[in-house]
Structures are given as C-alpha cells and as structure tokens.
Amino acid sequence: MVAIRDPGGQIAPRGIRGERGVRARVREIVAHRSVLRLLITRDLKVKYEKSVLGYVWSILEPLLLAFVYYFVFGVIMGVGTEDYLVYLLAGLLPWLWASSTINASTGALTGQARLIKTSSVPREIWVLRLVGAKWVDYVLSLPVLVLFAILYRRAPHLGHLALLPFVMVVQAILLTGIALLLSSISVMFRDVKNIVKIVMRLLFYFSPILYGFEKIQKLPDVIVEFYTLNPFVGILELNRAVWFPDELHNAGISWISAVLPTIVLTAALFALGWTVFARLERAVLKEL
C-alpha cells in the first residue's frame, strides 16, 4: 500500500476537516499537486506493470471496437465513406476517455476508503487522479488515429487542430464535475453504479460517434433540442472536425456555436458536482 503524505512530508492525520470555501479547497488541491501526480502514476503502474501487453492495451481496445463498428456499419450496412474507420476513431477515442472515467468514478471513493479516511489529502484529489489517469490512456491511444489518418491520407485541419487542447481542457472539466457528483452520491446510494452503466450505454448511441450531427438535424426540432442537451455533442464534433473539417459545415454550424452550449453545460455540471461533493463530504466519510 502506498503511504500518502502531505507536502510537508508528514503522514496526514485521521479526521474530518471542517467546512472549507471554494478558494480554500482550490488552494489545498494545488498544494497537494505532487500527491495527485503520485496517485496518477501509481494507477498507471498498477494497470500496466503486471500486464504482458502493457501499453498495447491502451490502443487495442479502441482499435478492436473501431474495427467491429466499421465492419457492421461501414461494410455490412454501407454507411460512411472509405475512410469511415478514421471517422469512427475520431469520435470513439474521446468517448472512451469519457465513458471509462464516468463508469470508474462510481467507485473512486469506495475503492480507496482506507486511504481517504486516514489522510488529510483533499478528497477531490481521489477523483482528479481518476480523470488524469484516464486522460493519459486517451493520449496514449491517439497514435492509432494518426496512423490510420496517414494510411487513408487524411490531413488534419490546422485551425481545428489548434483548438484540440482547448477541447481537451473542456472535456477534462466536464468529466471532473460529473465524477465529483457520481463518486459522492454512489457512496450514499450503491445503485448509482448500475444506473450509470445503463445510461452510458444509451448515451453512446445518442452521441455523434457512429454518425455525424447533421443526421440528427434532419429530425424534428424538439428531438434536435433534446439531443443538444448532451454535453458531449460539441466535444465529439470538434474532435472529428480536426480530420473532417466539412463536418461542422455539413451540420450548418460553426466551431463557436458547437462549443458554446458545451461550455455552458460543462460549467453547470462542474458547479453541481463540486457543490454536491462538498456538501456530502462528511456524510460520505461516515459511510466509507
């Protein structure tokens, strides 16, 4: 077991901390950033050190999934173009980062109960470490997309490529808010884990991964409006627009109109997750 120490090098004392404001929480998280790096590194080592294939697993899962969807929708059903595999990977890779983080967030606290209860490390760190580790997995899988883009002679759109780091930051904030919310309420209500699994499976098909947003715009306005409540729509469309710059044009939207609803929803979900996590902290520590 890894001994978590505070920045001063002392083992953190047991106990429940008092109420903290937002600024105090942020300062405390920043002060413990070295602990966050340690936990992310630990998670990655645990995942890969005893694995025969190691890093290969980061690219094998999305690659196999992409091939299956390509065979079913691209070959059998004749959907998409000859570079449909690149089209799939461009949406599938950021989705896998999202789905793996959200599904794992329901056990982010319960799986580390002993360390959480016996340390004064900010409890948000245990959620942030999950988002960070899954982000590293996502980045490690990107060479697969680049490789197939080269094979299919798909050059990135430099303007949209420059937006990719910004889109990653937005997605990281969104996932942090969702993970803070789910990690805390799943301690209080254990059924949340099973509900999340079902919701994520449904959300996969209600997100522009296998198809583009322009397909949805052909539907009645009420369906389109409901569909755009999905915060991942803008994120996935902008990821795909790096390799398919006509994607946004075909949908009749600009990158600004694609990202603005996502930013608003991200801010709302992050605020909700942060608030619920802070309010439930004492109750969660008693349940762990």
Is residue 117 in a domain?
Answer: yes
Is residue 252 in a domain?
Answer: yes
CB contact at 8 A, 127 and 179: yes
Residue written as tokens 């060479």?
Answer: 143
Is residue 10 in a domain?
Answer: no
Is residue 3 in a domain?
Answer: no
Separation CA 90–CA 236 (nearest Å): 8
Separation CA 166–CA 158 (nearest Å): 14
**Facing residues of 11 across strands?**
5
Is residue 59 in a domain?
Answer: yes
Q: Provide mean pLDDT across the span 171-186.
A: 96
Work out the angle between the directed axes of helices 124-151 and 158-188 (0-180°, nearest 10).
140
**Radius of gyration of the CA atoms of the chain, in A:** 20
Domain limits for position 72 = 22-287
Predicted confidence (pLDDT) at residue 253 exceeds the cutoff of 80: no
pLDDT, tens digit, for every residue of 42-84?
888 887 776 666 677 778 888 888 889 888 888 888 776 778 8
Q: Provide mean pLDDT across the span 273-281.
A: 93
Predicted confidence (pLDDT) at residue 205 exceeds the cutoff of 80: yes
Looking at residue 54, its pLDDT comes to: 67
Is residue 96 in a domain?
Answer: yes
Quote the tokens at residue 263.
């930013």
DSSP string, 56-112: HHHHHHHHHHHHHHIIIIIIIS--S-TTHHHHHHHHHHHHHHHHHHHHHHTTTTGGG
Separation CA 110–CA 176 (nearest Å): 17
**Facing residues of 5 across strands?**
11
Is residue 16 in a domain?
Answer: no
Going by C-alpha positions, the residue among 271, 217, 213, 276 that lies closest to residue 240 is 213
CB contact at 8 A, 160 and 242: yes
Work out the angle between the directed axes of helices 84-105 and 124-151 (0-180°, nearest 10).
170
Q: Kindly indicate the confidence band of residue 206, based on its pLDDT and cuts at 50, 70 and 90.
A: very high
Separation CA 229–CA 247 (nearest Å): 19
Looking at residue 52, its pLDDT comes to: 62
Quote the tokens at residue 111.
């799986």
Predicted confidence (pLDDT) at residue 248 exceeds the cutoff of 90: no
Predicted confidence (pLDDT) at residue 275 exceeds the cutoff of 70: yes
Distance of CA 182 to the CA centre of its chain: 13
Entry field: residues in the chain: 288
Predicted confidence (pLDDT) at residue 170 exceeds the cutoff of 70: yes
Domain count, the chain: 1
Separation CA 39–CA 126 (nearest Å): 8
H or E element in which residue 265 lies: helix 255-287
CB contact at 8 A, 213 and 241: no
Quote the tokens at residue 288.
């762990």
pLDDT, tens digit, for every residue of 208-233?
999 888 888 888 989 988 898 899 99
Is residue 27 in a domain?
Answer: yes
Predicted confidence (pLDDT) at residue 176 exceeds the cutoff of 90: yes
Separation CA 108–CA 132 (nearest Å): 13
Predicted confidence (pLDDT) at residue 7 exceeds the cutoff of 60: no
| Maximum Cα interatomic distance, the chain, rounded to a whole number of Å | 61
